[in-house]
Amino acid sequence: MIMTSAAQDEKLDRTKPPKPGPPKDVQFPDYFDTTLPNGINVLVIENNRIPAVSVRMVFKDAGSFFDGRNYGLASLTAELLIKGTGKRTASQIAEEIDFVGGSLNTGSDWDGSYVSLSVLKKHLRTGVDLLSDVVLNPVFAEDEISRVKEQRLSSILQAKDDAGHLSDKMFNKVLFTDIDGKYNSPYGFPAEGTEESVRGLSQKDIIDFYNNHYFPQKLIIAFVGDITKEEALEIVNEKFSVWKNNFVEPLGNTISKNPYNTGNNSVFVVNKPGAVQSNLRVGHIGIARNNPDYIAVTVMNTILGGYFGSRINYNLREKHGFTYGARSGFNPHINPGDFSVDTDVRNDVTDTSIALIIEELREMIRNEITDEELSTVKNYLTGVFPLQLETANAVASRVINLKQYNLPKNYYSTYISSINKLTKKDILNAAQKYIHPDNLFIVVSGDASAVKDKLKRFGEVKVFDADGNQLSEK
């Protein structure tokens, strides 16, 4: 019997919204993956819905982790790639990519350096000509180096007035190095460089870094968009096949044990005389990006302080009104990065806020989360994940992540189901394994005279100026 529309309406209660079905995995696009004779790893994701192509190149082991004592060298080298080649000046490069409505960008992080191109398919040849030119033929002209260095120095000087930047800098220093400045982990030093290190960088330093770290064997190049694997391979073979692989394994940097990592909370204040607020960083060593518990840690941290409805934000913002926002996060790299809770609070509630943060960390490892918390955060994370794959650049970045961090090929295709499989016990286990309330580094950027004495309840307090120099007790 065929039910009429009227009969169907009688069986529907239109006062109640329909129940959503269980979230399904987003099918991450399949991709072509091959390695050329000279070592270049080529990845291609075909998507012809829009007549555009994004190309992202990542040079592994060319990031700030390999700066050595020349802090800022990797980021400066990457920035200078598009500041002039043997055939084009910086202005010509900018004008040519602008003329076709495309974008050409460079940059670096701790793990690598990248070059990204986005252009309409009909202008792909122009874009690729520029891309290959800046990668293969940078000249690192003295005048461009001087200009970029001056801009960098200006940025470093301006950052000394930013409480958040001062906290970040000190937090990384005490977390990854010893207080005397002896070499431990590169993460303890600023990726953008210091005034002293940037001033000391020479043209030879930059050319040597390029020659020692930009190799075909260390290159992953991903094409995403209106392009076939045949077209992509033709481009790479035409532009990069003659690039010789003179790769030499770079000197390995190791992460030494921090002598301050002894189980007692330590307090470090960066003095900003007259400041009415304190910027806080409370945390410890975190995890590496390829940690098998990464997804469980992501869910756990989201509940703790990873989104607006988190425990820490509710406690400090909604319940006590101490801040406009508080958050926590893990910052993973190829090697373990940091975990921290970050916020800005009034001077008079600085110590109380830290105490509340520590109590939230203790509660996270003490008891299981609630069913409602787990359900809410699962829905949140699985809901925003598809939105993070909407652009070609986002897809290119993620497919490169699979290769760069040795993640399984189905990582993103099973991401949602991996989240939904997690139990409250899994979250508690992750918290107990990766949250350490008794081994915290507490960094406060603010007026030392207003907050120092109250902070002694957490441990010995050391005070520094904006340049990282320890100030004597008065």
At 448, list the tokens. Answer: 């030392």
Contact 266, 459 (CB under 8 A): yes
CA distance 364 to 311: 9
pLDDT score at 138: 97
CA distance 205 to 68: 11
Roughly what angle, to the nearest 10 degrees, separates helices 424-434 and 371-384?
80
pLDDT score at 252: 46
Q: What is the pLDDT along the chain (474 residues), one digit of tens a residue?
A: 445 555 555 566 777 776 666 667 878 888 999 999 999 999 999 998 899 999 999 999 999 999 999 999 999 999 999 999 999 999 999 999 999 999 999 999 999 999 999 999 999 999 999 999 999 999 999 999 999 999 999 999 999 999 999 999 999 998 888 655 554 789 999 999 999 999 999 999 999 999 999 999 999 999 999 999 999 999 999 999 888 766 555 554 555 444 435 446 789 999 999 999 999 999 999 999 999 999 999 999 999 999 999 999 999 999 999 999 999 999 999 999 999 999 999 999 999 999 999 999 999 999 999 999 999 999 999 999 998 888 888 899 999 999 999 999 999 999 999 999 999 999 999 999 999 999 999 999 999 999 999 999 999 999 999 999 999 865
What's the angle, vertex CA 455, arms to CA 450 and CA 459, rounded to 5?
150
Q: Tokens 């309330």 appear where?
A: 437
SS3 at position 201: coil
Contact 440, 284 (CB under 8 A): yes
Roughly what angle, to the nearest 10 degrees, separates helices 350-366 and 424-434?
130
Element (H, E) at 115: strand 112-120
CA distance 217 to 248: 10
Identity of the amino acid at 285: I
pLDDT score at 22: 65
pLDDT score at 263: 43
CA distance 25 to 94: 40
* CA distance to 30, 115, 230, 371, per residue, from 409 (Å): 9, 23, 22, 31
Enter the pTM of the model.
0.89
Please name each of the domains of the chain with its CATH number: 32-240 (3.30.830.10), 266-464 (3.30.830.10)
